[in-house]
Amino acid sequence: MMRGLFSLLAAVSLFPVFSFASEIGNIDRLENKKVLFVITSHDQMGERKTKTGYWLEELAAPYEILSQAGANITLASPMGGKPPVDPASLKSASQTKYTKIFKHDQQAQEALSHTLVLTSVKAEDYDAVFYPGGHGPLYDLADNQDSIRLIEDFAKAKKPVTVLCHSPSVLKNVKDFKGEFLVSNRKVTSFSDSEEAGATLSRKYDWVPAFVQKLGNGHTYSLAKLPPEKLMAKLHLKHVLPFFTEDMLKEEGALYQRKPNWEAFSVQDVTADGGILLSGQNPQSSQLVAEKLVEILGTQPS
């Protein structure tokens, strides 16, 4: 009996080790890879002046997953210094295991407090670029010439360009080597019009439990069928958002793809330049996109 008990205790004591080993299987896989994160510096939405910025989960999960895999990460933003975070992304309903890890990651917090000025970074110094979402990029990165050139340089060098949720907005004015929109005839996803409608409505009723908000998806799908101008008017966003990300991508010829509201989804395609374009639909897609970027970088030569 004692022998059996000892065997059981040994098995139990070993279980956390095996479990932990599976969690860290990617450590140092990308030890020679350098990834540039470009974060918005914009902190308010149009005439409404609602506070915005980057969405915490969309920065935290990719940062921690890529760091765990051994990648060397650099953070940059148009203005440099500490970028603004969307206050809505700090609420308890938006917290995940990665946001909690990120908040206590001293190296990450130090880098976040001292992001490089965007003009000081070059595609040639990195293996991939990643843009976290949040509404901020619609205002200060979609038309930013330094960001546009940076993405074009990454694409021409056949280095992965990764965008998530609202950050596909940064592709708005990006062209390929033929002078055509980079997203033209390419599979891309982003925060959808119906998710935009749902997010706008939920900001007014943020006290409502998430499962109740999901019951309203039918209404947001219905709203999203309106022409963009009418949808903006209906949501009182006409002088708040410069454009809807989904509609912008479609207007530029993208083969827009999506899943139902708030489901994790990402899509990968190759641009006319031969570069990899990886995109995720919403905050729920941040882990999925990060893991795919790890896989992509892990297959490329150092």
Say if residue 234's pLDDT is above 90: yes
Give the contacts of 65 (CB within 8 A, at least 6 positions apart). Answer: 26, 98, 287, 290, 291, 294
The verdict on residue 100 lying in a domain is yes
The verdict on residue 102 lying in a domain is yes
Say if residue 177's pLDDT is above 70: yes
pLDDT (0 to 100) of residue 204? 67
Domain with 171 in it: 25-191+247-298
pLDDT (0 to 100) of residue 6? 34
Tokens (6 digits) for 68: 């765990």
The verdict on residue 167 lying in a domain is yes
Say if residue 4's pLDDT is above 50: no
DSSP-assigned states of every residue in the chain: -HHHHHHHHHHHHHHHHHHHHHHTTTTTTTTT-EEEEE-----EEGGGTEE--B-HHHHHHHHHHHHHTT-EEEEEESS-BSPPB-GGGGSGGG--HHHHHHHT-HHHHHHHHTBEEGGG--GGG-SEEEE--SSHHHHHTTT-HHHHHHHHHHHHTT--EEEETTGGGGGTT-B-TTSSBTTTT-EE--S-HHHHHHHHHHHHTTTS-HHHHHTTHHHHHHHHTS-HHHHHHHTT-TTT-S--HHHHHHHTT-EE---STT---EEEEE-TTS-EEEEE-SGGGHHHHHHHHHHHHHTS--
Say if residue 15's pLDDT is above 60: no
pLDDT (0 to 100) of residue 213? 63
Region for residue 261 given its phi and psi (left: phi exceeds 0; alpha: psi -120 to 50; beta: otherwise): beta
Q: What is the pLDDT of residues 128-171, one digit of tens each?
A: 999 999 999 999 999 999 999 999 999 999 999 999 999 999 99
The verdict on residue 268 lying in a domain is yes
Mean local confidence (pLDDT), 233-249: 96
Say if residue 16's pLDDT is above 60: no
| Domains in the chain, number | 1
Say if residue 112's pLDDT is above 80: yes
Say if residue 77's pLDDT is above 60: yes
- Whether residue 102 contacts residue 133, with contact meaning beta carbons closer than 8 Å, is answered with no
End-to-end CA distance of the chain: 54
The verdict on residue 216 lying in a domain is no
pLDDT bracket for residue 205 (50, 70, 90): low
- Whether residue 238 contacts residue 45, with contact meaning beta carbons closer than 8 Å, is answered with no
pLDDT (0 to 100) of residue 13? 36
pLDDT (0 to 100) of residue 201? 84
The verdict on residue 5 lying in a domain is no
pTM, two decimal places: 0.90
Which amino acid does the sequence have at 45?
M
pLDDT bracket for residue 105 (50, 70, 90): very high
pLDDT bracket for residue 260 (50, 70, 90): very high
Tokens (6 digits) for 21: 């080993």
Say if residue 25's pLDDT is above 60: no
β pairing state of 128-131 and 34-38 = parallel
The verdict on residue 1 lying in a domain is no
The verdict on residue 113 lying in a domain is yes
CATH number for the domain that contains residue 277: 3.40.50.880
pLDDT (0 to 100) of residue 7? 42
Say if residue 20's pLDDT is above 60: no
Tokens (6 digits) for 5: 């008990």
Say if residue 256's pLDDT is above 50: yes
